[in-house]
């Protein structure tokens, strides 16, 4: 049985992963919510104003009341600023599995930051919540996301053809990556 504990604070060398707060609205708006390059492969459009960002964070903060809600702000310790977000987008209790999703300011791409965040979240989900399988999907045109998954220890399992649809792009393929608890424990990725 999964032992849900919700979004607990996680520290890494460079990052603080914590619950999002209304006060993070400006950082989110400025750093990624308005950037069409960041949101290009996401299911939502860039935000038009900070009020839109505040409303989303307000909804997320209400969801923190549920122990099965996992949604972290990614704070870069050096600057004390929220630069991204990582969360569980799906949980399958019966199969002890979940799907993780993430996004981050393009200013911090290619620095290993998202890999660091994903590894920390994977470790938390396996060791504290007792998931057995963690999955991540990405648009096949977003190869950088696949690199993050691979560097975090996840293995490419295949391509789901025309598995998703958006008004912006129509039907598109998704690459699926996953890691099992046994693999994580044997690889000593911590």
Query: Residue 55 is part of a domain; what is its CATH number?
Result: 3.40.630.30
Q: How far is CA 164 from the centre of its chain?
A: 18
pLDDT at 189 over 60: no
What pLDDT is attached to residue 169? 81
Taking Cα atoms as reference points, which of 75, 100, 88, 84 lies closest to residue 7?
88
Per-residue three-class SS string for the chain: CCCCCCCCCEECCCEEEEECCHHHHHHHHHHHHCCHHHHCCCCCCCCCCHHHHHHHHHHHHHHCCCCCCCEEEEEECCCCEEEEEEEEEEEECCCCEEEEEEEECHHHCCCCHHHHHHHHHHHHHHHHHCCCEEEEEEECCCHHHHHHHHHCCCEEEEEEEEEEEECCCEEEEEEEEEEEHHHHHHHCCC
The boundaries of the domain holding residue 156 are 10-187
pLDDT at 44 over 70: no
Residue 5 lies inside a defined structural domain of this protein: no
Residue 76 lies inside a defined structural domain of this protein: yes
Residue 3 lies inside a defined structural domain of this protein: no
Measured distance CA(108)–CA(46) in Å, rounded: 18
Query: Residue 104, class by beta-carbon neighbours within 10 Å (0-12 exposed, 13-18 middle, 19+ buried)?
Result: buried
Two structure tokens written together for 174: 């998704």
What pLDDT is attached to residue 48? 76
Q: Work out the pLDDT band at 19, boundaries 50, 70, 90.
A: very high
What pLDDT is attached to residue 166? 83
pTM recorded for the entire structure:
0.94
Between 28 and 41, the more confident residue is 28
Residue 2 lies inside a defined structural domain of this protein: no
For 93-131, write each residue's pLDDT tens digit: 999 999 999 999 999 999 999 999 999 999 999 999 999
Contact 15, 75 (CB under 8 A): yes
Measured distance CA(143)–CA(127) in Å, rounded: 29
Residue 4 lies inside a defined structural domain of this protein: no
Measured distance CA(64)–CA(124) in Å, rounded: 17
- The number of C-alpha atoms within 13 Å of 55 and in the hemisphere containing its C-beta is 6
What pLDDT is attached to residue 41? 72
Percent of the chain with pLDDT over 70: 94
Count: domains in the chain: 1
pLDDT at 69 over 80: yes
Average pLDDT, the chain: 93
Residue 1 lies inside a defined structural domain of this protein: no
Give Dmax (Cα) for the chain: 46
């Amino acid at each position: 049985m999964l032992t849900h504990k919700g979004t607990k604070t996680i520290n890494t060398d460079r990052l603080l992963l914590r619950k999002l707060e209304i006060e993070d609205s400006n950082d989110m708006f400025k750093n990624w919510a308005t950037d069409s390059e960041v949101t290009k492969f996401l299911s939502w459009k860039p935000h038009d104003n900070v009020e839109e960002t505040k409303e989303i964070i307000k909804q997320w903060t209400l969801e923190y009341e549920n122990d099965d809600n996992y949604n972290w702000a990614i704070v870069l310790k050096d600057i004390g600023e929220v630069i991204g977000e990582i969360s569980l987008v799906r949980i399958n209790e019966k199969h002890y599995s979940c799907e993780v999703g993430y996004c981050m300011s393009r200013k911090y791409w290619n620095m290993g930051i998202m890999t660091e965040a994903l590894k920390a979240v994977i470790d938390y989900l396996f060791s504290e919540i007792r998931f057995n399988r963690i999955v991540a999907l990405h648009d096949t045109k977003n190869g950088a996301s696949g690199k993050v998954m691979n560097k975090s220890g996840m293995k490419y399992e295949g391509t789901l053809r025309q598995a998703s649809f958006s008004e912006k792009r129509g039907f598109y393929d998704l690459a699926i990556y996953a890691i099992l608890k046994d693999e994580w424990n044997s690889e000593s990725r911590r």
